Chains A and B, each alone.
Chain A
Amino acid sequence: MTEATREIFGNIPPAEQHIFYALAFLSLAVFTAGLLRHVVRWMHGTVDWNVPAEELPKRIRHAFDQVFTQPRLRRASSSGMTHLLIFWGFFILFVGTEFVAVEHDTPLSFFHGLFYLVFSLAMDIAGVVMLAGLCLAIFRRYFLRPARTAGSYGSLICLLMILGATGFLLEGFRMALLGSYWFDWSPVGALVAAILKSFVPNRETLAAWHRGVWFFHGVVTFGFIGSMPFTRAFHAIAAPLNILLTPMRPKGSLTTPFRLEQLEAGESVQPAPLTLADLNWKQLLDSDACTECGLCQEACPAWAAKRPLSPRNIVLAVRAAAERQAWQAPVEKVISPGEAWSCTTCRACMDACPVSIMHIDLLVDVRRALVMKNQVEPNMSVTLTNLAKTGNAYGMPEEQRMVWAAGLPVSVKVDRMAPGADVEVLYWVGCAGAFEERGQRVARAVATILKRAGVRFAVLGPEERCTGDPARRLGEEGLFQRLARENIATLGKHGVRKIITQCPHCLNTLKNEYPVFGGNYEVMHHSEFISQLISEERLKLMDPAMAQTATYHDSCYLGRHNDVYDQPRQALAAVPGMELREMPRSREKGFCCGAGGSNIWFDLDVGTRINGIRYDEAVATGVQTIVTACPFCRTMFDDAASNRGGTNRPQIRDLAEVISEVSADAV
């Protein structure tokens, strides 16, 4: 028995082989030219950021994971599986085809024996997998017609269908014509060959058909390769590249377009991209990598509330403008102010995006441009003026930062931070805790819990300022940095190392954004700390004598931005008699309350209310209490509740209030 192998270009006359090579080079040339056109477009962007070399191993691991297992796509139900089948089928066929080229055109030779057999089998299976995926895609797209389908992929699906089908046909003709002892290792090819033989018994005709199909398959393949940079198929190149090159900042942090120190040194800085050309190369690559899958839009609370924002559309608007070479177009003409202000920076889009596009960066950049051009709504300027004048967005006098503590019993005395004080943690009360009537109650609950657990804590009182989160997310970077600098100086003066916050927005800014400016602390949200106190048995919980039902709403800045999902639930589950029910959208898929990205400080007079959507979802669980862990979420729920009215509606409480009520005094 001879060794298993096959003759490449069997039955193909030399003339046609030459045409084949000519076409191959032509298609590669067109492909390269198309690719370069994209690269040149990316290079129109600014280079304010580059990939640090030491991050590469981590990046490559991450990209491999995203490309080969596609967790985000799989999360999206039917389309994820479909895509994974097509991807894996195509990928193996692509690699296999490269093997053929290497075997034939280089001195290397491995196309024999067991390798060849495994190769044959793998290619057959891959072909079936790809065709199955394509059939599913067609079924889903044209028969099921779900609400979300990716953009114009019809022609790409057809093209791949033709490639796969003619591939099998070609294999069948070859096996029918040339014969093979190794039919078992090419089951589909053998089947097709058997069918063909029964229809076309004449060898001459078989040979002619084989040449014809071979040529057709080749032309379609080269056509496909050459056209890739010009069609939706380009995502197969841009998407992995984009995933590989995506910034690795902490999730909740924004870019730092300039430093106050630069301004003070008289350097000229660009605080915001004013035109399309001012966007950075990665933002342009982002727009090219978009597969138009629409998962971002599906997850977007602004879109759900019929606001004028679809995260997909803004990315595509950047792409369209770049394709038009509209480099001098003002950014707010590419992405409208309405789109920019509609965003709650909840990160649902970025978490859903399979190709790691940074929608929030783009939208905040537009906000920065709008602030630079003074195109802000009255309520936004009131917020910014309050922050600048009083150090808090409520516009309250700083001396009143301790008013909340006045309602506490004597046993819960709250100390102010002082140098050399014996303090375990700093409790960062936050502006809502200090100035907002409901927030003050939560602040008292947190203080009560800390006291009962015997935690030695102190607060900054009038020395505390807003962390700057609302300013930064409204696009006022300079004001944010001023507040950050002031807070970092205060925290440094007191030698603070560990901070507990009541507000996830404070948490996020202190933890993820201050390190850039030299502020490094261990920062925990109260829910993390309370959960820890319970598990360490420092905090004892009493039996409330009555069973309770509750649902926990994930704050975007606690959950998606900081991955705190379990601790609040653990703390609640520790309450005796507590039954927790989850909303349909929870944890990573949690739906925003509508307040983030400074939306708590202004109203858009469009669409419906995001908080109404979420409130109804929470009420539908039929619980007695809706538990939040963020002052803004709580406010939004309160607002929706009084909007909906009615009796017998669930209570809306902060986690700290629920726990404080059942906590027992330390022995």
Chain B
Amino acid sequence: MHAFWVVAEHSNGAVDRVTFELLGEARRLARESGGKTAAVLFGDRLEALVPPLAHYGADTVYTFQDDRLARYNPGVVVASLGELCAAQEPTLVLFPATSTGNDAAVRLSMERNWVYAARCVNFLRKDGDIEMVRPVNGQKVHATVRGQLAGPRLATVIPDVIGLDKPDPKRTATVVACTPVIPEETDVEVRRFIPGDPATIDLREAGIIVSAGRGVGSRDNMQLVYEFAAAIGGSVGGTRVAVDLGWLPRERQIGQTGKTVTPRLYIACGISGATQHTLGMKDSSTIIAINTDPAAPIFKIADLALETDVRELLPTLTQRFRQETGRK
């Protein structure tokens, strides 16, 4: 019987969204082939993480609980996962295409000589095997990867591509507690994680962008934008005009002659929405536009249109978010 596995990722005591996306994909494949799904969990405290994995479609949850797994530990993960896969023979093992997911998948593939495809966007069943689809040549074309070796297929999946299924809170999963395999020697030790600072990361990697246009009014008012962005954990970008006026450095420019961004949330502050700007952000998942001009073209592509002055709205919002989240 086919089995489709997802190596779960979690942070701050909660399962990451991308893991749920992968579970949805695993469930689809299992449903089509009459197979089963499973999630694999590594960590030091895992009890609370099992139910959400079940809600999003895991039939079985394999847990590796150990104090040495408080942080990502490639030696233990690869050895444990390798043993488990060798014993259970899953068809496909999915990893999120994150820094840790990529690392684990590549190491496992190298150690066991299993087929691996990076940054996939789709999976097809063919002749009892799985074909893995991934964009190549700057996303110009899609390549289909088919394995010729025995063993499970390993794949990383780009976050935010597959999308979330509706969770079913009534579902439960069988929990299989496993003993971690501790390799005798290890070449990698993870000492600490340094999260990206929204204020400095590249805009193309930002999840939330607060973007400023001429409607912000003045260089001084940019402070309102920065404060709001800090309060909601967003990165600040802007239009070409905002950059030309010296409100923002050039690397913060979004649009035709700046960067093309696709954040989960794009908040356009005082931006009219000329094509030259919208070309660089139109594919954002959710767009909120704040503008005083009801005829502003940005409202045509916005999911939420707020017809008001950013200079009045932003301080209020900032204050509310600070109260809610305790962020400064």
Partner of A605, one of B241, B250, B259: B250
Assess whether A639 is in contact with B214, with CB atoms less than 8 Å apart: no
> Which of these binds chain B: A240-248, A434-442, A449-457?
A434-442
> Which of these binds chain B: A86-94, A344-352, A413-421, A595-603?
A595-603
Assess whether B245 is in contact with A643, with CB atoms less than 8 Å apart: yes
Assess whether A388 is in contact with B140, with CB atoms less than 8 Å apart: yes
Partner of A438, one of B214, B258, B275, B279: B275
B residues in contact with A602, CB < 8 Å: 257
| Contact size range, B | 20 to 34
**Interface readout for B210-239 with A: 1 if CB under 8 Å, 0 if not?**
000010000000000000000000000000
In the assembled complex, the CB of A440 is this many whole angstroms from the nearest CB of chain B, namely 9
Q: How far is the CA of A639 from the CA of B279 in the complex (A)?
A: 15
Q: Which of A269-290 contact B (CB under 8 A)?
A: none
Interface of A: prevailing SS: helix
**Interface readout for A585-602 with B: 1 if CB under 8 Å, 0 if not?**
000000000000000111
Q: How far is the CA of A639 from the CA of B275 in the complex (A)?
A: 12
Instruction: Take A639-B240, A642-B241 as given contacts and tell me if A603 and B258 are in contact as well, using a CB distance cutoff of 8 Å.
Output: yes
> Which of these binds chain B: A191-199, A208-216, A377-385, A493-501?
A377-385
Which has the most chain A C-beta neighbours within 10 Å: B139, B140, B260, B279? Answer: B279
Q: Which of B238-266 contact A (CB under 8 A)?
A: 240-241, 244-245, 250, 253, 256-260
List 18 contacting pairs A-B, 8 Å CB cutoff, sorted by A: A378-B259, A379-B256, A379-B257, A379-B258, A385-B138, A389-B140, A435-B275, A436-B275, A437-B274, A437-B297, A438-B274, A603-B240, A609-B244, A639-B241, A639-B276, A642-B241, A643-B241, A643-B245
B residues in contact with A116, CB < 8 Å: none
In the assembled complex, the CB of A91 is this many whole angstroms from the nearest CB of chain B, namely 50
Q: How far is the CA of A568 from the CA of B198 in the complex (A)?
A: 50
The residue of chain A having its C-beta at the shortest distance from the C-beta of B141 within the complex is A389
Assess whether A603 is in contact with B274, with CB atoms less than 8 Å apart: no
Q: How far is the CA of A600 from the CA of B253 in the complex (A)?
A: 15
Q: How far is the CA of A609 from the CA of B278 in the complex (A)?
A: 21
B residues in contact with A382, CB < 8 Å: 260
B residues in contact with A605, CB < 8 Å: 250
Q: Which of A601-655 contact B (CB under 8 A)?
A: 601-603, 605, 609, 635, 638-639, 642-643, 645
**Interface readout for A356-394 with B: 1 if CB under 8 Å, 0 if not?**
000000000000000000000011011001001100001
A residues in contact with B297, CB < 8 Å: 437
In the assembled complex, the CB of A214 is this many whole angstroms from the nearest CB of chain B, namely 68
Assess whether A635 is in contact with B276, with CB atoms less than 8 Å apart: yes
Contact surface of B with A, Cβ cutoff 8 Å: 138-140, 214, 240-241, 244-245, 250, 253, 256-260, 273-276, 278-279, 297
Q: How far is the CA of A112 from the CA of B260 in the complex (A)?
A: 82
In the assembled complex, the CB of B218 is this many whole angstroms from the nearest CB of chain A, namely 10
Q: How far is the CA of A382 from the CA of B260 in the complex (A)?
A: 9
Q: How far is the CA of A639 from the CA of B242 in the complex (A)?
A: 11
A residues in contact with B273, CB < 8 Å: 437
The residue of chain A having its C-beta at the shortest distance from the C-beta of B300 within the complex is A437
Beyond the given A603-B253, A635-B274, A639-B241, could you list 12 further A-B residue pairs with CB under 8 A, ordered by the A residue number?
A378-B259, A385-B140, A394-B279, A436-B275, A439-B275, A600-B257, A603-B257, A638-B274, A642-B241, A643-B241, A643-B244, A643-B245
Q: How far is the CA of A645 from the CA of B213 in the complex (A)?
A: 12
The residue of chain A having its C-beta at the shortest distance from the C-beta of B137 within the complex is A385
Assess whether A394 is in contact with B250, with CB atoms less than 8 Å apart: no
Instruction: Take A385-B138, A438-B274, A639-B241 as given contacts and tell me if A395 and B257 are in contact as well, using a CB distance cutoff of 8 Å.
Output: no
Leading 6 A-B pairs by shortest Cβ distance: A603-B257, A436-B275, A437-B275, A642-B241, A437-B297, A643-B244
Assess whether B250 is in contact with A603, with CB atoms less than 8 Å apart: yes
**Interface readout for A561-601 with B: 1 if CB under 8 Å, 0 if not?**
00000000000000000000000000000000000000011
Q: How far is the CA of A603 from the CA of B274 in the complex (A)?
A: 17
